[in-house]
Amino acid sequence: MSLPCPSCGAAMAASDPSCPSCGQAKGKPRAQVSKSDDALQYVKIIGILVVVIVVVLIAAGMMGQGPVTCPACNGKKAVACGNCISGRNLCKNCKGYGHDPQTFSTCPDCKGKGDTPSCWACGNRPPKPCATCNGTGLKSD
């Protein structure tokens, strides 16, 4: 006599204690996957992702900080003359104050402005390549 399997409905022989289709034993209901098992799978996946991220961050930290910009030119690869560095062409006579230091009157060279149209130090020539980094913009070791 054959009985239907309670789980899959396949015919089970009376002498065989398990179903040939699904392998479930007679009379025992199939074990249901609980929601806690699903949650456990998600926790495992999240744990693995966290470990992978930590390993990547550690590996990136071991590689170093990357290229460092030159402190003399701040990565611009060139430096202006000392007088042009502030962006103003300071007057040679009054050093940008606007008054003549010897007579304490208005500076005759800049007429009290403190700066001149052209730089007295470099003549408004373009900036020179940085001597510290040889024009690369990166700090040399």
Please report how many Cα atoms fall inside a 13 Å half-sphere around the Cα of residue 121, on the Cβ side: 16
User: What is the tens place of the pLDDT at every residue in 47-61?
Assistant: 999 999 999 998 888
* H-type alpha helices, 9-133: 35-62
Asked if residue 106 has pLDDT above 80, the reply is yes
Pairing assessment for the beta strands 11-13 and 128-129 based on DSSP bridges:
unpaired
Contact 75, 130 (CB under 8 A): no
For residue 29, what pLDDT band results from cuts at 50, 70 and 90?
A: low
Instruction: Encode burial over 110-138: b for 16+ CB neighbours within 10 A, e otherwise.
Output: beeebbbeebeebeeeeeeebeebeebbe
pLDDT at 32: 55
| Pair 91, 101: CB distance under 8 Å | no
- The pLDDT of residue 1 is above 80: no
Residue 141 CA to residue 137 CA, distance in Å, equals 13
When comparing pLDDT for 111 and 12, which is higher? 111
